[in-house]
Structure 1
């Protein structure tokens, strides 16, 4: 009888350990799957998110990716990403008034005819290489045609990056009619042009090496104004 009692205690102990392991496993999975989304609920001239880069933005090539959803369809232009120094707009990414996607490096930009952004989440990647002058955009893993743009140009370090606003002077004088309204998440940036296959993997949610300029999982964000951070499971 004593032997049976001891066996029962041993079995209960094993069950307790298994339950604890299961809880720890689920906790770890929840931590891995938890993601943050920035919600810009209304048009304003005060709401934006400043991102702190992991390294200076002294770039001769880049891949910039993000997930975007917006209901502003053909109503006005929308800023998606703004990097500005005291002297110039070094890199601005836009949804144009006519629906095209574009980015600008210190002056005139390169524009792409792509499927329009909408309320359903879209995965965007922009690529550019100074040595060849090649530029492209990817929409949900599908690549646009290649365009030639600013061969030999270099993006200069020393500025600030903002999501949600574009400033007419260094981090000031925001225009509400250019502000972003909707959701932005999973913003990553690399100082190289990633392969087409790597960008497709990211669209499908597969793990790849995180951005070395901006890594959405670790990049410091400074929230300003009416921006809501929503944590969700991916």
Structure 2
């Protein structure tokens, strides 16, 4: 009986050790002032990337939603959007690539976009399922020395913001790598397995600058 008790305690301890406390950002209402700035661990000088996040929103209808905005003084270097027609997209220097996938909604969706400059290969993953591959901006480089904003679209380097493009809902676990992760690693990430954290943005350690009416909710994963 003692052996069973010891094994039970070891199992519980292992489960607790493997659980991770993650902050999630809740944007409760449409505004032109609530946003979060993410401070990168290294410059966004990117010839390839994988960008992942977990997102949920009840915004529907003909309403575009910005999910990730990175802008330098020169241009919108890397933006991720849900478009007016429900397609998901990402933009490199104001040029888009579109993916027609199931619409995101109130149930949390794990979303990743990948891109490689050498081939131009671009893809989207939704809850571990990969889209078709598209060829986009071959030979391009994402430029450094910009700002990353969650919740608003940077129409210029310092704003202003448009409330009609703001994010309303829940978003978190935003990680960015300067390489294209394998399909298996992205699938493992969706299923909750531990994978190497983002080396440009690691959501567990990245500094967040909260502005406006953004609520930070702590959850266990």
Query: TM-score, normalized by length of structure 1?
Result: 0.87
Equivalent position SS for 2:42 = coil
Quote the Cα distance in structure 2 between the aligned partners of 1:74 and 1:214: 31
Structure 1 unmatched runs, 5+: 1-17
Q: How many residues align?
A: 214
Partner of 1:35: 22
Q: Contact 1:73/1:117 (CA < 8 Å) preserved in 2? A: no
Bigger-Rg structure (1/2): 1
Residue number among 163, 167, 176 corresponding to 1:189 in the alignment = 176
Q: Contact 1:77/1:95 (CA < 8 Å) preserved in 2? A: yes
- 1:18-33 equivalence runs, <5 A: 29=16, 32-33=19-20
Equivalent position SS for 2:160 = strand
Within the alignment, does 1:54 sit opposite 2:80 as a pair?
A: no
Residue number among 86, 89, 113 corresponding to 2:100 in the alignment = 113
Partner of 2:146: 159
Equivalent position SS for 1:167 = coil
Structure 2 unmatched runs, 5+: none
Where do 4+ consecutive residues of structure 1 move more than 3 Å?
A: none
Q: Which region of structure 1 is more displaced relative to structure 2, 37-46 or 73-82?
A: 73-82
Query: TM-score, normalized by length of structure 2?
Result: 0.92
Quote the Cα distance in structure 1 between the aligned partners of 2:95 and 2:202: 28
The structure with more helix, counted as a fraction of residues: 1
Residue number among 42, 50, 60 corresponding to 1:73 in the alignment = 60
Partner of 1:210: 197
Quote the Cα distance in structure 2 between the aligned partners of 1:31 and 1:208: 12
Partner of 2:123: 136
